[in-house]
Structure 1
Amino acid sequence: MTDLAYSAYLAFYLYLIMVLIQWAVATASKAKQPNATPGKLDDSLSHGSFVFRTHRTFQNTLENSLLFVGTVLLAFVISYQSTIFAVCMWVYLAARVVHMVLYYAIATEKNPSPRSYFFLIGVLANLVMLVLLGLRLM
């Protein structure tokens, strides 16, 4: 295995670990609430609630996972190796981790919030990866 492939696999693995951590934090914080019902979030919660923020962080990651996971798996299936692609994977991972930390730490209804910028960095990294794959497939 090349160093480039290893780097891409490691970034993907760490992304999966991040998703697992988000799920665990969201589940644990919600379960500690009085009268917690599995699968239901209290409608009165908003950004002031850590439970709400952990839930939204996890949901936001799930909403964005299909595009990232699909892009990465397609690259792996066609054995696409590119330094730029691997760097974009790491940028995406870093942006999602910072997004997560900011969402956990900052209770704000303001838009854009600081986490919004890292969301956009992740989207741009994924867009570059898609373009690179498209160029490879042509």
Structure 2
Amino acid sequence: MPDYSLAIVAIYLLLLMVFLQAIIAAGAHRKQESYVPGIVDENLGPESFVFRSHRTFMNSLETVPLMVALAFIAMFVAMDAGWLAILMWVYLAARLAHMITYYLVATRKNPSLRSYFFMVGVLAQIILFGLVGFSVL
């Protein structure tokens, strides 16, 4: 059986990052003068850290579960452990860079710097989909 320990560490760190994003977003939200738990003011935009931290967390919730599920399927079908580790670490680095960039750069420009990191993550997902599909078929 292949040694998936490097991929598993990347998955763990990815999930830890999403957990920290949730804490950061909740903390930013609660620092507002008036807030309703669970509701972000729809009038906020990228200029607001509350908006950016919320969107960073939501974006992770939209993309990370798919990658984690795909990684476990890759392990289940005994995909090459080296390729899986590389793709998981690239994905983790891209998501981390996306998060940091989103936290630090308030912009309405599209594509923004964070968009490029997002696309690196998507590329890692596409490659993993292809490799898993090849392993399954």
Specify the TM-score bucket, using the shorter chain as the normaliser: over 0.9
Q: Deviation of residue 35 (structure 1)?
A: 1.8
1:24-103 correspondence runs (5 A): 24-103=23-102
Q: How many residues align?
A: 137
Q: Percent same amino acid among aligned pairs?
A: 45
Q: Which moved more, 1:67-76 or 1:19-28?
A: 67-76
Match of residue 120 from structure 1: 119
TM superposition outliers: structure 1 runs of 4+ over 3 Å: none
The DSSP-based 3-state class of the residue aligned with 2:4 is helix
Shift of 1:125: 0.4
Question: 28-37 vs 117-126, which deviates more?
Answer: 28-37
Letter in 1 for 2:74: A
TM-score, scaled relative to structure 2: 0.94
Give the Å deviation of 1:102.
0.1
Q: 2:135: which partner in 1?
A: 136
- Give the distance between the partners of 1:76 and 1:38, measured in 2 at CA: 39
Name the CA distance, whole Å, in 1 between partners of 2:80 and 2:13: 18
* Secondary structure of the structure 2 residue equivalent to 1:46: coil
Separation in 2, partners of 1:80, 1:23:
31
- Is the contact between residue 53 and residue 103 of structure 2 (CA under 8 Å) also seen in structure 1? yes
Gaps of 5+ in 1: none
Q: Distance in 2 between matches of 1:76 and 1:20?
A: 23
Which residue does the alignment assign to 1:104? 103
Distance in 1 (CA, whole Å) between partners of 2:59 and 2:125 is 15
Matches within 5 A, 1:17-28: 17-28=16-27
In structure 2, C-alpha distance between the alignment counterparts of 1:7 and 1:40, rounded to whole Å: 37
What is the CA distance between 1:81 and its match in structure 2?
A: 3.3
CA contact (8 A) 2:77 2:135 kept: no
Aligned Cα RMSD in Å? 1.3
